[in-house]
């Protein structure tokens, strides 16, 4: 960049010694090459948390080594955006670097308690029998029904904890229904023994492909137009049974990591509105990231989802920025103090 004043678009480029701060975030779909300009006072990078362990941490080690060879002080941490006020679990690797003579910023303290399921509280009211059983349906003496649906909402924290995070594709009924175009869906047929999970309590098979009993996949096993997508039980053993797919968000829960293309079959998990029969909107995803409603997104719906999903959560970025601001303010204060001592 030395000696160049304009880009091919005619835009002015900052020259060596003119840049005080650089920030960036390689897309989480991969790790792009990043050009570092020397003589920067501060550098801030945001990356997907798997960056830390990618290639046995070799990429992280090389990145830190390059920064150190260039004379920077540097540090890294994996930070949870949910700990800074957004209703979403989003862990990102953050690298902070400061030039010689600058103060290296600290990482901000969390402002919010996140994911109560993971909290280890020491003072709690003891649970009673009512807290444990009052939401379960009535069972008549001698009943032999294997499963009975809940009769209502959970009535205590203990019940909500044991019920788990809610329904997903495994709760879809395996039935024939008439579709809006007049055609009918088909039953999903379980035709193979599942070696890993065995048979159900009534002896029914659980596999939908010959690979369930460790044989090669047979293309003729594939089923179409079923209410339960055939691909989900087919590959469920390799993907934690696709937990959360076709599931609704919980009003009292939080978003999984907001991605660039939310869809019911995506790996993000629950992307259906808690009450309405639709996917979450662009604005709702933006809310999960912490964007104010005044912030505008542009392009197609997919473009807007991509803009939301590829960014760093604004509250997390603000918290880091405040720590950098503290360092700059402290440096200015120290400089004034030093000048005052010389004059006096």
Per-residue model confidence as pLDDT tens for the chain (344 residues) = 555 677 777 777 777 777 888 887 765 555 433 333 334 555 555 555 567 777 788 888 998 999 999 999 999 898 889 889 888 888 888 999 998 888 899 999 998 888 655 444 444 555 667 877 788 888 777 777 666 767 777 887 777 777 766 678 888 889 999 988 999 999 999 999 998 888 877 788 889 999 998 899 999 999 999 999 999 999 988 888 888 888 888 888 888 888 888 888 876 678 889 889 899 999 999 999 999 999 999 999 999 999 998 888 999 999 999 999 999 898 888 888 878 888 77
Residue closest to 304 by CA, chosen among 246, 258, 272 = 258
Pairwise CA distance, residues 181 & 305, whole Å: 29
Half-sphere exposure of 32 (CA within 13 A, CB side): 11
Percentage helix, strand, coil, to 5, in the chain? 30, 10, 60
CA dihedral 161, 166, 169, 173 (to 10 degrees): 110
List 28, 209, 285, 327, catalytic entry: 28
285 is catalytic: no
- DSSP 8-class letter at 314: H
- DSSP 8-class letter at 196: T
* Number of neighbours of residue 91 by Cβ within 10 angstroms: 15
């Amino acid at each position: 960049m030395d000696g160049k004043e304009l880009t091919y678009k005619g835009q002015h480029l900052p020259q060596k010694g003119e840049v005080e701060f650089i920030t960036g975030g390689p897309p989480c779909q991969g790790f792009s090459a990043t050009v570092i300009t020397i003589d920067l006072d501060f550098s801030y990078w945001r990356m997907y948390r798997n960056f830390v362990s990618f290639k046995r941490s070799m990429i992280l080690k090389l990145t830190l080594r390059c920064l150190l060879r260039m004379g920077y002080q540097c540090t890294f941490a994996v930070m949870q955006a949910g700990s800074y006020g957004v209703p979403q679990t989003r862990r990102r690797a953050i690298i902070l670097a400061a030039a010689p003579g600058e103060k290296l910023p600290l990482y901000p303290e969390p402002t919010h308690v996140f994911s109560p399921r993971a909290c280890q509280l020491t003072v709690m009211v003891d649970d009673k029998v009512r807290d444990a059983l009052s939401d379960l349906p009535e069972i008549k003496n001698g009943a032999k029904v294997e499963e009975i649906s809940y009769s209502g909402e959970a009535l205590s924290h203990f019940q909500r904890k044991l019920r788990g995070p809610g329904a997903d594709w495994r709760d879809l009924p395996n039935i024939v229904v008439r579709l809006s175009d007049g055609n009918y869906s088909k039953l999903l047929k379980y035709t193979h023994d599942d070696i890993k999970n065995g048979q159900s309590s009534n002896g029914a098979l659980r596999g939908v492909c010959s690979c369930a009993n460790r044989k090669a996949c047979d293309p003729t096993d594939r089923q179409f137009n079923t209410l339960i997508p055939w691909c989900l039980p087919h590959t469920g053993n390799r993907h934690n049974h696709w937990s959360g797919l076709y599931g609704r968000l919980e009003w009292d829960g939080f978003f999984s990591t907001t991605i660039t293309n939310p869809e019911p079959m995506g790996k993000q998990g629950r992307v259906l509105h808690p009450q309405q029969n639709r996917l979450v909107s662009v604005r709702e995803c933006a809310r999960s990231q912490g964007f104010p409603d005044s912030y505008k997104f542009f392009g197609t719906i997919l473009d807007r989802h991509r803009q939301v999903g590829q960014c760093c959560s604004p509250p997390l970025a603000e918290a880091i920025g405040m720590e950098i601001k503290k360092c700059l303010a402290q440096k200015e204060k120290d400089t004034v103090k030093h000048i005052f001592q010389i004059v006096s």
